[in-house]
């Protein structure tokens, strides 16, 4: 697999920079809640991808 697949696009880097600026204005608890929500979304996405791959292989 090509290592460039894991590199962020210019747009993604910009989005991260915007989030970083937004987080600086948030309270610690708000950042933690945002992180937990994001992790939940990532886990749900991973489950969806796993299920799609499993169904594709059947």
- Mean pLDDT calculated for residue range 29-43: 96
SS3 track for the chain: CCHHHHCCCHHHHHHHHHHHHHHHCCCHHHHHHHHHHHHHHHHHHHHHHHHHHHHHHC
pLDDT digits (tens, 9 = 90+) for 8-24: 999 999 999 999 998 99
pLDDT of residue 4: 82
* Structural domains of the chain, count: 1
pLDDT of residue 10: 96
Whether the per-residue pLDDT at 37 is higher than 90: the answer is yes
Q: Write out the residue range of the structural domain in which residue 38 sits.
A: 3-57
Q: With a threshold of 0.85, does the pTM exceed it?
A: no
Whether the per-residue pLDDT at 7 is higher than 80: the answer is yes
């Amino acid at each position: 697999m090509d290592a460039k697949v894991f590199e962020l696009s210019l747009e993604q880097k910009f989005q991260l920079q915007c989030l970083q600026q937004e987080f600086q204005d948030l309270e610690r608890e708000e950042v933690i809640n945002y992180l937990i929500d994001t992790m939940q979304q990532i886990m749900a996405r991973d489950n969806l991808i796993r299920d799609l791959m499993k169904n594709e292989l059947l």
